[in-house]
Structure 1
Amino acid sequence: MAEGKFVAYYRVSTEKQGRSGLGLEAQQKAVRDYLNGGSWDLCSEIIEVESGKNSERPKLQEALMLCRLYGATLIIAKLDRLSRDAHFLLGLEKAGADFVAADMPSANRVTVRIMAVLAEEERNMISERTKAALAAAKARGVRLGGDRGNLQAVGHDGRRIAAERRRADAEARAHDLAPQIKQLQAQGLSLRGIASQFEERGYKTPRGGKWTATQVSRVLRNCR
Protein backbone atom coordinates (compact mmCIF):
# COMPACT_ATOMS: atom_id res chain seq x y z
CA MET A 1 0.00 0.00 0.00
CA ALA A 2 1.51 3.32 -1.10
CA GLU A 3 2.29 5.91 1.56
CA GLY A 4 4.06 9.27 1.55
CA LYS A 5 4.68 11.95 -1.06
CA PHE A 6 5.22 11.21 -4.75
CA VAL A 7 6.17 13.08 -7.93
CA ALA A 8 5.08 11.32 -11.13
CA TYR A 9 7.25 11.38 -14.25
CA TYR A 10 5.78 10.44 -17.63
CA ARG A 11 7.68 10.26 -20.91
CA VAL A 12 6.30 10.12 -24.44
CA SER A 13 8.50 9.83 -27.51
CA THR A 14 6.78 12.27 -29.86
CA GLU A 15 4.86 15.53 -29.77
CA LYS A 16 1.91 13.68 -31.33
CA GLN A 17 1.81 11.21 -28.45
CA GLY A 18 2.00 14.08 -26.00
CA ARG A 19 -0.99 15.86 -27.58
CA SER A 20 -3.12 12.77 -28.13
CA GLY A 21 -2.47 11.09 -24.82
CA LEU A 22 -1.31 7.91 -26.55
CA GLY A 23 1.02 6.19 -24.17
CA LEU A 24 0.57 8.97 -21.63
CA GLU A 25 -2.86 7.79 -20.46
CA ALA A 26 -1.54 4.26 -19.98
CA GLN A 27 1.32 5.56 -17.87
CA GLN A 28 -1.00 7.70 -15.77
CA LYS A 29 -3.32 4.74 -15.21
CA ALA A 30 -0.41 2.53 -14.14
CA VAL A 31 0.71 5.15 -11.61
CA ARG A 32 -2.80 5.63 -10.23
CA ASP A 33 -3.35 1.88 -9.98
CA TYR A 34 -0.13 1.64 -7.97
CA LEU A 35 -1.19 4.49 -5.67
CA ASN A 36 -4.70 3.14 -5.21
CA GLY A 37 -5.39 2.99 -1.48
CA GLY A 38 -3.01 3.97 1.30
CA SER A 39 -2.10 7.42 2.53
CA TRP A 40 -0.27 9.31 -0.20
CA ASP A 41 0.06 12.73 -1.78
CA LEU A 42 0.85 13.19 -5.49
CA CYS A 43 2.70 16.50 -5.30
CA SER A 44 3.22 16.96 -9.04
CA GLU A 45 3.01 15.24 -12.43
CA ILE A 46 5.75 15.98 -14.96
CA ILE A 47 5.47 15.11 -18.66
CA GLU A 48 8.49 14.91 -20.93
CA VAL A 49 8.44 14.57 -24.72
CA GLU A 50 11.75 13.00 -25.63
CA SER A 51 13.41 10.05 -27.30
CA GLY A 52 14.44 7.18 -25.05
CA LYS A 53 17.94 7.34 -26.55
CA ASN A 54 18.47 10.89 -25.33
CA SER A 55 19.75 11.19 -21.77
CA GLU A 56 19.26 14.98 -21.70
CA ARG A 57 15.99 15.17 -19.81
CA PRO A 58 15.23 18.64 -18.42
CA LYS A 59 11.77 17.57 -17.24
CA LEU A 60 13.18 14.55 -15.43
CA GLN A 61 15.69 16.83 -13.71
CA GLU A 62 12.77 19.06 -12.73
CA ALA A 63 10.92 16.04 -11.31
CA LEU A 64 13.99 15.00 -9.31
CA MET A 65 14.36 18.56 -8.00
CA LEU A 66 10.74 18.50 -6.81
CA CYS A 67 11.39 15.15 -5.13
CA ARG A 68 14.26 16.68 -3.19
CA LEU A 69 12.21 19.73 -2.24
CA TYR A 70 9.17 17.80 -1.06
CA GLY A 71 11.07 14.81 0.30
CA ALA A 72 9.03 12.80 -2.20
CA THR A 73 9.57 9.60 -4.15
CA LEU A 74 9.79 9.69 -7.95
CA ILE A 75 7.19 7.34 -9.43
CA ILE A 76 7.20 6.08 -13.01
CA ALA A 77 4.99 3.64 -14.87
CA LYS A 78 7.77 1.54 -16.40
CA LEU A 79 11.52 1.45 -15.99
CA ASP A 80 12.04 1.96 -19.73
CA ARG A 81 10.28 5.32 -19.44
CA LEU A 82 13.50 6.64 -17.92
CA SER A 83 16.13 5.51 -20.37
CA ARG A 84 17.67 2.57 -22.13
CA ASP A 85 21.09 4.02 -21.34
CA ALA A 86 22.85 2.34 -18.42
CA HIS A 87 24.99 5.38 -17.63
CA PHE A 88 21.87 7.51 -17.34
CA LEU A 89 20.24 4.99 -15.00
CA LEU A 90 23.38 4.93 -12.90
CA GLY A 91 23.04 8.69 -12.61
CA LEU A 92 19.76 8.22 -10.72
CA GLU A 93 21.74 6.71 -7.90
CA LYS A 94 23.41 10.08 -7.41
CA ALA A 95 20.25 12.15 -7.85
CA GLY A 96 19.43 12.31 -4.14
CA ALA A 97 15.89 11.00 -4.58
CA ASP A 98 14.26 7.61 -4.22
CA PHE A 99 12.06 6.21 -6.96
CA VAL A 100 9.57 3.43 -7.61
CA ALA A 101 8.38 1.85 -10.86
CA ALA A 102 4.73 0.77 -10.99
CA ASP A 103 5.62 -2.27 -13.11
CA MET A 104 8.40 -3.33 -10.71
CA PRO A 105 7.61 -2.03 -7.19
CA SER A 106 10.47 -3.98 -5.61
CA ALA A 107 13.06 -2.21 -7.77
CA ASN A 108 15.30 0.30 -6.04
CA ARG A 109 18.54 2.12 -6.74
CA VAL A 110 20.55 -1.05 -6.24
CA THR A 111 18.28 -3.06 -8.55
CA VAL A 112 18.50 -0.49 -11.31
CA ARG A 113 22.23 -0.23 -10.91
CA ILE A 114 22.60 -3.99 -11.36
CA MET A 115 20.28 -4.00 -14.37
CA ALA A 116 22.20 -1.14 -15.95
CA VAL A 117 25.56 -2.75 -15.37
CA LEU A 118 24.39 -6.00 -16.96
CA ALA A 119 22.84 -4.18 -19.88
CA GLU A 120 26.04 -2.30 -20.73
CA GLU A 121 28.44 -5.12 -19.87
CA GLU A 122 30.08 -3.06 -17.17
CA ARG A 123 31.47 -6.03 -15.27
CA ASN A 124 34.95 -5.66 -16.71
CA MET A 125 35.04 -1.95 -15.96
CA ILE A 126 33.95 -2.55 -12.37
CA SER A 127 36.66 -5.18 -12.04
CA GLU A 128 39.28 -2.74 -13.31
CA ARG A 129 38.09 -0.02 -10.94
CA THR A 130 38.21 -2.46 -8.04
CA LYS A 131 41.76 -3.48 -8.90
CA ALA A 132 42.80 0.16 -9.18
CA ALA A 133 41.19 0.97 -5.82
CA LEU A 134 42.96 -1.95 -4.14
CA ALA A 135 46.25 -0.90 -5.67
CA ALA A 136 45.74 2.67 -4.47
CA ALA A 137 44.85 1.43 -0.98
CA LYS A 138 47.94 -0.74 -0.93
CA ALA A 139 50.05 2.23 -2.03
CA ARG A 140 48.66 4.20 0.93
CA GLY A 141 49.87 1.45 3.24
CA VAL A 142 46.51 -0.24 3.81
CA ARG A 143 47.00 -3.94 4.49
CA LEU A 144 44.65 -5.93 2.29
CA GLY A 145 42.96 -8.92 3.82
CA GLY A 146 40.72 -9.72 6.76
CA ASP A 147 42.80 -8.10 9.52
CA ARG A 148 41.50 -5.41 11.85
CA GLY A 149 43.71 -2.73 10.33
CA ASN A 150 42.03 -3.21 6.98
CA LEU A 151 38.57 -3.10 8.55
CA GLN A 152 39.45 0.14 10.30
CA ALA A 153 40.68 1.64 7.02
CA VAL A 154 37.50 0.56 5.24
CA GLY A 155 35.42 2.03 8.05
CA HIS A 156 37.30 5.32 7.78
CA ASP A 157 36.81 5.42 4.01
CA GLY A 158 33.14 4.61 4.46
CA ARG A 159 32.64 7.50 6.87
CA ARG A 160 34.51 9.83 4.53
CA ILE A 161 32.36 8.78 1.55
CA ALA A 162 29.18 9.17 3.63
CA ALA A 163 30.26 12.67 4.69
CA GLU A 164 30.99 13.60 1.07
CA ARG A 165 27.57 12.30 0.05
CA ARG A 166 25.85 14.38 2.73
CA ARG A 167 27.79 17.45 1.63
CA ALA A 168 26.86 16.83 -2.03
CA ASP A 169 23.19 16.38 -1.09
CA ALA A 170 23.26 19.66 0.87
CA GLU A 171 24.78 21.51 -2.07
CA ALA A 172 22.22 20.03 -4.49
CA ARG A 173 19.38 21.03 -2.19
CA ALA A 174 20.79 24.53 -1.85
CA HIS A 175 20.99 24.79 -5.63
CA ASP A 176 17.30 23.77 -5.87
CA LEU A 177 16.14 26.27 -3.25
CA ALA A 178 18.41 29.26 -3.91
CA PRO A 179 16.35 30.74 -6.80
CA GLN A 180 13.17 30.61 -4.70
CA ILE A 181 14.88 32.13 -1.67
CA LYS A 182 16.24 35.02 -3.78
CA GLN A 183 12.83 35.56 -5.35
CA LEU A 184 11.15 35.73 -1.94
CA GLN A 185 13.88 38.05 -0.64
CA ALA A 186 13.23 40.35 -3.60
CA GLN A 187 9.59 40.47 -2.45
CA GLY A 188 10.77 41.76 0.92
CA LEU A 189 10.41 38.58 2.96
CA SER A 190 12.74 37.98 5.88
CA LEU A 191 14.46 34.65 6.49
CA ARG A 192 11.69 33.81 8.96
CA GLY A 193 9.07 34.71 6.35
CA ILE A 194 10.80 32.50 3.78
CA ALA A 195 10.84 29.65 6.26
CA SER A 196 7.10 30.11 6.73
CA GLN A 197 6.58 30.03 2.95
CA PHE A 198 8.54 26.78 2.65
CA GLU A 199 6.41 25.27 5.41
CA GLU A 200 3.22 26.24 3.53
CA ARG A 201 4.57 24.73 0.32
CA GLY A 202 5.35 21.48 2.07
CA TYR A 203 9.08 21.49 1.35
CA LYS A 204 11.04 19.04 3.43
CA THR A 205 13.93 20.20 5.58
CA PRO A 206 17.20 18.22 5.52
CA ARG A 207 16.40 16.66 8.91
CA GLY A 208 12.66 16.37 8.40
CA GLY A 209 11.67 19.05 10.95
CA LYS A 210 10.16 22.51 10.54
CA TRP A 211 11.73 25.30 8.54
CA THR A 212 13.40 28.06 10.54
CA ALA A 213 15.28 31.24 9.66
CA THR A 214 18.52 29.48 10.64
CA GLN A 215 17.90 26.66 8.16
CA VAL A 216 17.17 29.14 5.36
CA SER A 217 20.40 30.96 6.18
CA ARG A 218 22.30 27.65 6.08
CA VAL A 219 20.91 26.92 2.61
CA LEU A 220 22.15 30.31 1.40
CA ARG A 221 25.63 29.57 2.75
CA ASN A 222 25.71 26.19 0.98
CA CYS A 223 24.93 27.74 -2.40
CA ARG A 224 27.81 30.26 -2.30
Structure 2
Amino acid sequence: MNHSHQTRGSRYVAYLRVSTQKQGQSGLGLEAQKVAAQEYLATFGGEILAEFIEVESGKRSDRPEFTKAADYAELANATLLVAKLDRLSRDLHFITSLQKRGIRFKLCDLPEIDQLTIHILAAMAEHEARMISIRTTQALRMAKERGATLGNPLLAVQRNRDTEAANEQRVLKQQAWQSKILKVIDHLEHSEGLSTCQALADALNERGLRTARGAKFSLPIVSRLRRSRNSIMDKGDK
Protein backbone atom coordinates (compact mmCIF):
# COMPACT_ATOMS: atom_id res chain seq x y z
CA MET A 1 0.00 0.00 0.00
CA ASN A 2 1.34 3.40 -0.97
CA HIS A 3 1.28 5.90 1.89
CA SER A 4 3.44 8.49 0.14
CA HIS A 5 0.62 11.06 0.13
CA GLN A 6 0.73 11.15 3.96
CA THR A 7 3.43 12.75 6.07
CA ARG A 8 4.34 11.54 9.52
CA GLY A 9 4.00 15.02 10.96
CA SER A 10 0.43 15.53 9.75
CA ARG A 11 -1.89 17.43 12.10
CA TYR A 12 -5.57 16.57 12.27
CA VAL A 13 -8.82 17.93 13.64
CA ALA A 14 -11.21 15.04 14.33
CA TYR A 15 -14.90 15.51 13.56
CA LEU A 16 -17.22 12.89 15.03
CA ARG A 17 -20.98 12.86 14.54
CA VAL A 18 -23.80 10.85 16.08
CA SER A 19 -27.36 11.05 14.85
CA THR A 20 -29.42 11.14 18.03
CA GLN A 21 -29.22 12.41 21.59
CA LYS A 22 -29.49 8.83 22.84
CA GLN A 23 -26.46 7.73 20.83
CA GLY A 24 -24.55 10.78 22.04
CA GLN A 25 -25.22 9.94 25.66
CA SER A 26 -24.53 6.23 25.38
CA GLY A 27 -21.48 6.57 23.18
CA LEU A 28 -22.80 4.08 20.64
CA GLY A 29 -21.36 4.87 17.24
CA LEU A 30 -19.07 7.47 18.78
CA GLU A 31 -16.63 4.92 20.17
CA ALA A 32 -16.36 3.19 16.79
CA GLN A 33 -15.49 6.52 15.15
CA LYS A 34 -12.81 7.23 17.78
CA VAL A 35 -11.30 3.77 17.19
CA ALA A 36 -11.30 4.40 13.42
CA ALA A 37 -9.42 7.69 13.98
CA GLN A 38 -6.85 6.01 16.25
CA GLU A 39 -6.28 3.19 13.75
CA TYR A 40 -5.81 5.76 10.99
CA LEU A 41 -3.13 7.54 13.06
CA ALA A 42 -1.45 4.22 13.90
CA THR A 43 -1.12 3.54 10.17
CA PHE A 44 -0.28 6.98 8.82
CA GLY A 45 1.11 8.80 11.84
CA GLY A 46 0.36 12.38 12.85
CA GLU A 47 -1.50 13.89 15.80
CA ILE A 48 -5.01 15.07 16.62
CA LEU A 49 -4.98 18.71 17.67
CA ALA A 50 -8.66 18.91 18.60
CA GLU A 51 -11.80 16.79 18.58
CA PHE A 52 -15.34 18.05 17.85
CA ILE A 53 -18.39 15.90 18.53
CA GLU A 54 -21.71 16.70 16.88
CA VAL A 55 -24.87 15.27 18.45
CA GLU A 56 -27.68 16.02 16.06
CA SER A 57 -31.25 15.03 15.37
CA GLY A 58 -32.15 14.16 11.80
CA LYS A 59 -34.28 17.32 11.60
CA ARG A 60 -31.42 19.74 12.16
CA SER A 61 -29.51 21.00 9.16
CA ASP A 62 -27.16 23.36 10.98
CA ARG A 63 -24.04 21.82 12.48
CA PRO A 64 -22.30 24.16 14.93
CA GLU A 65 -19.58 21.64 15.82
CA PHE A 66 -18.82 21.03 12.14
CA THR A 67 -18.37 24.79 11.67
CA LYS A 68 -15.99 24.92 14.66
CA ALA A 69 -14.02 21.90 13.40
CA ALA A 70 -13.69 23.37 9.88
CA ASP A 71 -12.64 26.79 11.24
CA TYR A 72 -10.09 25.16 13.57
CA ALA A 73 -8.64 23.07 10.73
CA GLU A 74 -8.39 26.15 8.51
CA LEU A 75 -6.71 28.31 11.16
CA ALA A 76 -4.31 25.55 12.24
CA ASN A 77 -3.56 24.52 8.65
CA ALA A 78 -4.59 21.01 9.70
CA THR A 79 -6.55 18.23 7.98
CA LEU A 80 -10.12 17.43 8.97
CA LEU A 81 -10.30 13.74 9.91
CA VAL A 82 -13.67 11.99 9.60
CA ALA A 83 -14.47 8.32 10.32
CA LYS A 84 -16.78 7.83 7.31
CA LEU A 85 -18.09 9.91 4.41
CA ASP A 86 -21.67 9.76 5.72
CA ARG A 87 -20.45 11.15 9.07
CA LEU A 88 -19.24 14.23 7.19
CA SER A 89 -22.33 14.57 5.06
CA ARG A 90 -24.22 13.12 2.15
CA ASP A 91 -24.94 16.74 1.31
CA LEU A 92 -22.62 17.84 -1.49
CA HIS A 93 -22.76 21.42 -0.20
CA PHE A 94 -20.71 20.50 2.90
CA ILE A 95 -18.02 18.80 0.82
CA THR A 96 -17.89 21.65 -1.69
CA SER A 97 -17.69 24.32 1.02
CA LEU A 98 -14.62 22.61 2.50
CA GLN A 99 -12.95 22.31 -0.88
CA LYS A 100 -13.65 25.97 -1.76
CA ARG A 101 -12.01 27.05 1.49
CA GLY A 102 -9.01 24.85 0.75
CA ILE A 103 -9.59 22.68 3.84
CA ARG A 104 -8.10 19.22 3.42
CA PHE A 105 -10.02 16.27 4.81
CA LYS A 106 -9.44 12.55 5.09
CA LEU A 107 -11.78 9.62 5.59
CA CYS A 108 -10.61 6.88 7.97
CA ASP A 109 -12.50 4.16 6.07
CA LEU A 110 -11.18 5.31 2.65
CA PRO A 111 -7.71 6.70 3.41
CA GLU A 112 -6.31 6.26 -0.09
CA ILE A 113 -8.87 8.26 -2.05
CA ASP A 114 -8.16 11.82 -3.13
CA GLN A 115 -10.31 14.95 -2.80
CA LEU A 116 -11.80 14.58 -6.30
CA THR A 117 -12.95 11.03 -5.59
CA ILE A 118 -14.56 12.17 -2.33
CA HIS A 119 -16.41 14.86 -4.29
CA ILE A 120 -17.66 12.24 -6.78
CA LEU A 121 -18.78 9.91 -3.97
CA ALA A 122 -20.69 12.75 -2.29
CA ALA A 123 -22.26 13.74 -5.64
CA MET A 124 -23.41 10.13 -6.18
CA ALA A 125 -24.92 9.97 -2.68
CA GLU A 126 -26.77 13.25 -3.25
CA HIS A 127 -27.95 12.08 -6.70
CA GLU A 128 -29.34 8.87 -5.18
CA ALA A 129 -31.24 10.86 -2.54
CA ARG A 130 -32.69 13.09 -5.28
CA MET A 131 -33.72 10.08 -7.42
CA ILE A 132 -35.56 8.55 -4.44
CA SER A 133 -37.46 11.83 -4.03
CA ILE A 134 -38.33 11.95 -7.76
CA ARG A 135 -39.49 8.31 -7.77
CA THR A 136 -41.71 8.98 -4.73
CA THR A 137 -43.26 12.04 -6.43
CA GLN A 138 -43.91 10.05 -9.64
CA ALA A 139 -45.51 7.18 -7.71
CA LEU A 140 -47.84 9.63 -5.92
CA ARG A 141 -48.81 11.30 -9.20
CA MET A 142 -49.60 7.94 -10.82
CA ALA A 143 -51.68 6.93 -7.80
CA LYS A 144 -53.59 10.21 -8.02
CA GLU A 145 -54.26 9.63 -11.74
CA ARG A 146 -55.71 6.22 -10.86
CA GLY A 147 -58.15 8.00 -8.55
CA ALA A 148 -56.55 7.09 -5.23
CA THR A 149 -57.28 9.46 -2.34
CA LEU A 150 -54.02 11.05 -1.31
CA GLY A 151 -53.01 13.23 1.57
CA ASN A 152 -54.51 13.84 4.95
CA PRO A 153 -58.32 13.43 5.03
CA LEU A 154 -58.39 15.82 8.00
CA LEU A 155 -56.51 18.52 6.09
CA ALA A 156 -59.57 20.82 5.83
CA VAL A 157 -60.11 20.58 9.59
CA GLN A 158 -56.43 21.33 10.19
CA ARG A 159 -56.53 24.32 7.83
CA ASN A 160 -59.54 25.71 9.71
CA ARG A 161 -57.65 25.32 12.97
CA ASP A 162 -54.61 27.06 11.48
CA THR A 163 -56.82 29.94 10.27
CA GLU A 164 -58.44 30.27 13.70
CA ALA A 165 -55.02 30.36 15.37
CA ALA A 166 -53.79 33.01 12.91
CA ASN A 167 -56.91 35.14 13.50
CA GLU A 168 -56.49 34.83 17.25
CA GLN A 169 -52.87 35.92 16.95
CA ARG A 170 -53.90 38.91 14.82
CA VAL A 171 -56.53 39.99 17.38
CA LEU A 172 -54.02 39.76 20.24
CA LYS A 173 -51.50 41.82 18.25
CA GLN A 174 -54.18 44.46 17.48
CA GLN A 175 -55.19 44.63 21.16
CA ALA A 176 -51.58 45.07 22.27
CA TRP A 177 -51.08 47.90 19.74
CA GLN A 178 -54.36 49.56 20.77
CA SER A 179 -53.37 49.49 24.45
CA LYS A 180 -50.08 51.24 23.64
CA ILE A 181 -51.54 53.91 21.34
CA LEU A 182 -54.31 54.76 23.84
CA LYS A 183 -51.62 55.55 26.41
CA VAL A 184 -50.08 57.99 23.91
CA ILE A 185 -53.50 59.57 23.26
CA ASP A 186 -54.09 59.90 27.04
CA HIS A 187 -50.73 61.61 27.35
CA LEU A 188 -51.51 64.07 24.51
CA GLU A 189 -54.92 64.87 26.01
CA HIS A 190 -53.58 65.56 29.51
CA SER A 191 -50.16 67.09 28.85
CA GLU A 192 -50.97 69.13 25.72
CA GLY A 193 -54.68 69.72 26.27
CA LEU A 194 -55.68 68.26 22.90
CA SER A 195 -59.37 67.44 22.90
CA THR A 196 -60.55 67.01 19.29
CA CYS A 197 -59.99 63.85 17.29
CA GLN A 198 -58.47 65.84 14.40
CA ALA A 199 -55.95 67.57 16.69
CA LEU A 200 -54.97 64.21 18.18
CA ALA A 201 -54.62 62.63 14.72
CA ASP A 202 -52.38 65.54 13.58
CA ALA A 203 -50.24 65.26 16.72
CA LEU A 204 -49.80 61.48 16.29
CA ASN A 205 -48.82 61.90 12.63
CA GLU A 206 -46.36 64.73 13.45
CA ARG A 207 -44.61 62.40 15.90
CA GLY A 208 -44.22 59.78 13.16
CA LEU A 209 -46.66 57.35 14.77
CA ARG A 210 -48.66 55.04 12.51
CA THR A 211 -51.68 52.76 12.78
CA ALA A 212 -51.33 49.00 13.28
CA ARG A 213 -51.41 48.64 9.47
CA GLY A 214 -48.77 51.31 8.96
CA ALA A 215 -51.13 54.07 7.75
CA LYS A 216 -51.42 57.66 8.91
CA PHE A 217 -53.94 58.54 11.61
CA SER A 218 -57.23 60.16 10.56
CA LEU A 219 -60.14 61.67 12.46
CA PRO A 220 -62.34 58.50 12.14
CA ILE A 221 -59.49 56.23 13.38
CA VAL A 222 -58.85 58.36 16.48
CA SER A 223 -62.59 58.60 17.08
CA ARG A 224 -62.92 54.80 17.02
CA LEU A 225 -59.98 54.42 19.41
CA ARG A 226 -61.47 56.87 21.90
CA ARG A 227 -64.89 55.20 21.69
CA SER A 228 -63.36 51.78 22.39
CA ARG A 229 -61.49 53.27 25.37
CA ASN A 230 -64.70 54.80 26.73
CA SER A 231 -66.64 51.53 26.35
CA ILE A 232 -63.87 49.68 28.24
CA MET A 233 -64.02 52.28 31.00
CA ASP A 234 -67.84 52.04 31.15
CA LYS A 235 -67.63 48.27 31.55
CA GLY A 236 -65.06 48.74 34.31
CA ASP A 237 -67.35 51.13 36.17
CA LYS A 238 -70.16 48.60 36.12
Higher relative contact order (CA 8 A, sep 6+): 1
